[in-house]
Structure 1
Amino acid sequence: MSVPAPADLAQQARRRARALRWGLGIGTAVVLGLGLVLLFLLTQATGNRELYERNYARLLVLNVVVAAVLLAVILWAAVRLAVRVRRGRFGSRLLVKLAAIFALVGLAPGLVIYIVSYQFVSRSIESWFDVKVEGALDAGVNLGRTTLEVLANDLGNKTRQAGAQLADVPDAAAGLALERIRDQLAAGEVVLWNASGQLIASAGLSSVLEAPERATAQQLRNARSQRFVAMVEGLDEPVAGMAPPQPHVKALAMVPSNSVGLLAEPRFLQASQRLPQILVDNALAVQQANREYQERALARAGLQRMYIGTLTLSLFLAVFGAVLLAVLLGNQLARPLLLLAHGVRQVAAGDLTPKPQLQSRDELAGLTRSFADMTQQLADARLAANRSLQQLDDARAYLQTILDNLTSGVVVLDRQGRVLSSNPGATRILRAPLAAFEGRPMAECSGLEAFAQSVQAQFDRLGDGRDHFGVDHWQQSFELRPAQSPFSQDALMLLARGALLPDQTRLLVFDDISEIVSAQRTQAWGEVARRLAHEIKNPLTPIQLSAERLEMKLAPKLGNTPEQALLAKSVRTIVEQVEAMKRLVNEFRDYARLPAAELKPLDLNVLVQNVMQLYPQEAATVPVQLELDPRCPPIRGDAEQLRQVIHNLLQNAQDATEASGRAGGEAGHVLLRTQWLDSARCVRLTVRDQGTGFSEPILKRAFEPYVTTKPRGTGLGLAVVKKIADDHGARIDLSNRLQDGATVGAQVSLSFPIDGAA
């Protein structure tokens, strides 16, 4: 079953409210019409005793019927309000309060007037025919005057209180305020005068008159000195040829001003209120009582019943009007509140669809329009917020994608050095699980203690420097060796840069420049080798030839003397050293002029077996043991350069094993192994010796030129191996082999990527 939309429900509610208002309006008009007819008949009967006596029964029946109808309507309204309260409908209690207030407002004065008038009528009619009738007539006149004065003073007090609402209202905006005051006072007209008696603004009947009646100067002076002046007008005898004036009560009160200046001009509020017809009739009746005394003497009982009936009907009309006014005004007040309550519940539930609004010009209808505008603004704001959040998520994802794919490491730290976030590049460079250390100090990560302390010190100095010199970043190079690594690794050279973020967190960006430093060193040594080969090789041959020529010229002259033996020994030493220098120069030349690798598919096992033919086991001082993995797929490599790599590694391993004194023993051998690493998708070539290993400083710089532990070594063997490995895209690792805490040799490993076709 479909559920009606909120707009359809609101439209249905508006139709029901419109129908109810029409029904109440028609019923009210009918009842008021009957009441007015009865009052008219009673009034006519009052002036015509014969007519009254002839139609007394009919008037009595009509009075009873109208009273019953009015009572039924009041009871129906009360039952309807009780049902609304029992069902807990929103605004029902407000309607009850309004009905009670208006009923009391209408009933209390009506009862007072009814009781006073009843007593007055009963006693007055009886006293008319007393010997003191003249005194009674005077008492009746005084009573009427007192009643009018009470009404006048009441209007005066209300006018003075209403004038306080105009204290801060300028003259230009006084019209709307006067309309509101007129409704509050239930006055026929409200006029605002200045001190000179000039009209400022008006509301009611005076607003359509060309020249409203101006307050006199005496009245203005009295109002200023006595706070207000009240008077009753229209009860005088009418002038012949002119329409009788409408009896009314007029009050004139001074408007208080919040201005302190001496030039502030006082203003006066004047309100006029029509007198109740019953009071006017009574006043006129009292005035005419003396003239009609003889005529009414025979019908005093009828007069008493007539007046009592008139007063009773007036009381019912007043109560009915008050309750009806309460219901109508309550519905008008509750309808916007109901719309607001329903809209608030929808907004609280997250429904920001357009809300219904009233088009009338009062404040509550304006409140519904403001609420509808606010709801629309909230909907627009939520849409903009959702759009901003989506854009923020997209930007965050975009930034995260960039960070995840950066080759540089990015780490965000707090002031205590705790890791807030990191990218995969930082984990890859540092070879440490930084993501697992989020919320913990970076110094707790194994192998990064010194690096974390250095970074913290740099940030501390940056904070001091920025405060004094406006520095916004620092840059420093670091050298460290990660503790956890799948391979033994050379020292990492990092170039780090740090900056302070706006939220006082710290941004650390670093790059691995180990390969750049190694390449720079390789390039520098290549340049040194080239220059050495050029500068040294040229004078070596003349030195050797000159030494041999000296021996050839001087040897026959010296004969077999000790000098001849010394000469021969010296020449032989010169020639041997020259040959050694030539070999050194040739190695430098070969290192500097190493050709580019021509990479082709290559079976590493076959290449190793070919190289091993040059190392026969029976004649070798240090035998070579082979362990070849048949699963090794082809790699891409240059056969000649890789053959040179294997020769260099085997020669170094044999020299290290022989130098350690283990040659000839059971363990004095070199291990050459190939291995297929399925997880890493690479082929590893390993050469393991049983020498003394490397010291820590040599281990860190073993692949740099002219770094060696041999007394006569050039230090270019491993440098050439490193350069060839780099040209092949291979990973090279050098480490000491430990057994029970003691060094039992060294190991060099090269990991080659496999051929793409394989």
Structure 2
Amino acid sequence: MTKSARWAWIVSLVAITGAALVLAFVLSFSSAGTGFYERHFVWLFWVNVAVAALLVLVILLAMLRLAVRVRRGKFGSRLLIKLAGIFAVVGLLPGLVIYTVSYQFVSRSIEAWFDVKVAGALDAGLSLGKTTLDALVSDIGTKTRVAAERLAEQRSTITPLTLERLREQIGARDVSLLGHNGQVLFTAGGGTAAVAPERPGLLLLRQARLSGMGSQVDGLDEESIAAANAGESAKGPRVRALARIPSTDIRLAPADDRFLMVVQPISRALAMNALAVQAAYSEYQQRALARDSLRRMYIGTLTLALILAVFGSVLLAILLGNQLARPLLLLADGVRQVAAGDLQPKPVFGSADELGGLTRSFAQMTAQLADAREQVERGVAQLEGARTRLQTILDTLTAGVIVFDREGRIDTVNPGATRILRLPLSAWRGRRLGELPELEAFAKSVDQRYELLATSPEAGERDQWQDAFELGRGDGNTLTLLVRGAPLPGEQRLMVFDDITEVVSAQRSQAWAEVARRLAHEIKNPLTPIQLSAERLQHRLESKLEGNDQSLLIRSVATIVNQVAAMQTLVNEFRDYARLPAAQMKPLDLNALVAEVMALYGHAHDRGVLGVRLAEQPPRILGDATQLRQVIHNLVQNALDAVGEQDDGHVELSTSVARGEHGELRALRLTVLDNGPGFPEKVLKRAFEPYVTTKSKGTGLGLAVVKKIADEHGARLRAVNVQAGEEPDAPITGARVSLSFSNFAPPAAGPHEGPAPATGDATQVH
């Protein structure tokens, strides 16, 4: 047994022994009557208080000791406090029940010691005597008031003889006439003449003056009864009644008031019975007081027993808490070792109860944690191997890969990106791509594409985008990049790009080599000989032929010459496409440029085939007005040609402004929409390549020229079919070609170049 356990047992035994002695002492005198408690109640009460104080002091010391343990951080202290509280509550609740039942039992038992019928009889006798006296006083008072009313008629001639006759009529012992201040004027009475009647008290006199009549009982005590027995009837118990004699003369002042006082003795037997009842009732009340003292003593003893029970519960909690804390201390040591990373096998508490099972479960859990840690370490090793393989793959990729974090800073970059861009991007991790002076414009364009994907995606763009960008180098060359971007979880962004400069150059070289070959082989070489030969034949044979033969010759030669001219026109278009001049970028108003071109299509507008809707006050862009006029003309003409054979054909040209989530400017979009048959699927994929056309007489260079001009302006060109629904197989209801400009002109102090519509969110142009 530990030292603390021995200390707890010693204190508990001492306290229990002391409480038992006090209880035995109290119970030993329980049959000694109430007199003992009346004489020794005070010191018995203080003995109980002292024992209770001792118990409370011991509990406070135990609580203080627990508080010191908690403050020092000893394990199990808080658990001991909880256990002490639990045991205290467990001991207190039954104790309160027993205390309540015992309290009621003691109270009712002590009440049963006293005869309830006797108490009721005393109360009834006291009430009866009081009622009898009140009836006697009321009767004397009534007779006195009636007698005073009779004397009112002869107020000025009242004599002792009149009072004597009045006394005999009402059967009183003494009848007196009093002045306004209570002095006795004269008296008529059957008592001793030498004894003058007593003057009434001030209270009785004031009552008679205010209400006209007053009465009271005098001499109802043991001394007065003894005096009456000794022959002094004037000092015996009596009823005194005082009535004011009314006056009909209103001139009389209060100083002229007269009072009639009647004194009637009370029966000696009645007075003695009343005193006896009163004395018995007083003695019963004193006994009841002793009864309350006894009840308080027993209740104090019960309270002491309750405190003892709670104290024992707390001590048991401390003792049992120590027994419970031993396996918990073992668990605590194991938990500290596990928290420090030590997952070696843990000791087990050798008991068959739940706490022993808890230590065994903890040992099993520790072993499982050790196995899990080994698995995690193997998983981390595998993950590191996978990351190494992924990094190796990224390092060997020919394409450039850049991952941006949620703030737009470079997070991951592979050597392919450094090789393609020829910049040390690895040294710029943690910084924005636009902070590199060489990539500022490129980074801005990429950010705009991400924003457009999030706020205003094109048809077919869902969770990724693809576009081509031209990046200028310091040596004067241009780098063409095919960039693909997609958002990643955690608001990150992925960008993958390839250098397609050589591919584009090879494609262009191959295309123009083919064009040159076809022009040289099929058109240019035989063109001039054919025309010259035809003209020479007409010159030689025209004069020699007549009639139908001559007409046939002229028509044939004309046909040959016209076809040669058509072939020359085709050659000129190829030449224009190949030798398109460089764009001269200047600030311009796209709405004004659209209105200028639409003036050439007044006939289509009047027929309702062509409609225009322009955005209100769009931003100015940097562009070549001549080339953009050609773009607008080509797009509108292609759309009109597509709906030319429809009765309900309609083409709409519109401009709109694309903005971000916070209202920032993103792009200015030019859109041409028609309700024609749309693009065939095989044509839609190559709509902007040369020689691709749906027209029987077209050259296929219109949209190719538009694409080249769009690239010169850094604009994004898209062509899609409009479908009646979102299903892939929904019917096609038209085509839409859009051109998005993001190269805005800086703000200018002067007015915009060209006219600009100023009313409405969208303006109709005529």
- What is the TM-score normalised by the length of structure 2? 0.33
- What is the TM-score normalised by the length of structure 1? 0.34
